[in-house]
């Protein structure tokens, strides 16, 4: 009986010592700290002259399918939230685009363009994934790239160009008026003809 008790005590002691050793050397103790080092390099510095005049926030519920020949098609479903920003690139403005005479000004702005299309990953979700096998990350990346181009197309369909023109005129007219110009005419280069509202 004594041998049995001493065997159980040795077994329990061994388990306790083993657990303590495992806890000590596992690296998962609460006192462990992560060390991070950064070596940043500035790749490019650009001068910007974009006058951002409109932002469309768009949400898309999409299904992306990768068709395969021999395996089942991989597909994913996502809720994508993103934004498309329309702007006027003022770096394209030339001195001959500005004509003044007394209290009148004629300003010919460059055509509006889409300057940013961005997916907000914090508000976007993958909610279904089927048959992705080993390519889950690749499938989601391809789906997001497709969604980004769809956001741009949708903004064009929603006439972001006209909205950009209207907002640019609404923004610039009071500024030019405050500079003493009573007659302000703002037109745009390229694209379709603009009629001020």
Both tokens assigned to 26:
């596992």
d(CA 49, CA 64): 36
Picking from 46-60, 64-78, 146-160, 178-192, which range would have the lowest pLDDT averaged per residue?
A: 64-78
In the numeric block, the tokens 């989601």 are attached to 140
What's the pLDDT tens digit per position in 2-14?
Answer: 666 666 777 677 7
109 φ, ψ to 5°? -90, 155
Q: Model pTM?
A: 0.67
pLDDT value, residue 147: 85
d(CA 38, CA 19): 36
pLDDT value, residue 65: 72
Both tokens assigned to 193:
């003809």
């Amino acid at each position: 009986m004594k041998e049995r008790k001493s065997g159980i005590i040795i077994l329990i002691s061994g388990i306790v010592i083993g657990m303590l050793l495992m806890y000590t050397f596992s690296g998962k103790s609460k006192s462990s700290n992560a060390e991070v080092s950064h070596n940043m390099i500035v790749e490019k510095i650009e001068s910007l002259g974009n006058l951002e005049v409109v932002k469309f926030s768009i949400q898309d519920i999409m299904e992306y399918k990768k068709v395969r020949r021999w395996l089942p098609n991989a597909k994913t479903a996502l809720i994508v939230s993103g934004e498309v920003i329309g702007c006027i690139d003022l770096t394209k403005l030339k001195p001959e685009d500005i004509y003044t005479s007394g209290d009148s000004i004629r300003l010919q702005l460059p055509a509006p363009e889409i300057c940013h299309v961005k997916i907000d990953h914090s508000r976007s979700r993958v909610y279904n994934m089927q048959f992705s096998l080993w390519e889950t990350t690749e499938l989601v990346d391809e789906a997001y790239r497709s969604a980004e181009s769809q956001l741009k197309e949708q903004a064009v369909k929603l006439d972001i160009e006209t909205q950009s023109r209207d907002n640019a005129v609404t923004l610039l007219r009071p500024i030019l008026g405050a500079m003493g110009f009573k007659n302000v005419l703002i037109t745009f280069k390229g694209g379709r003809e603009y009629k001020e509202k």
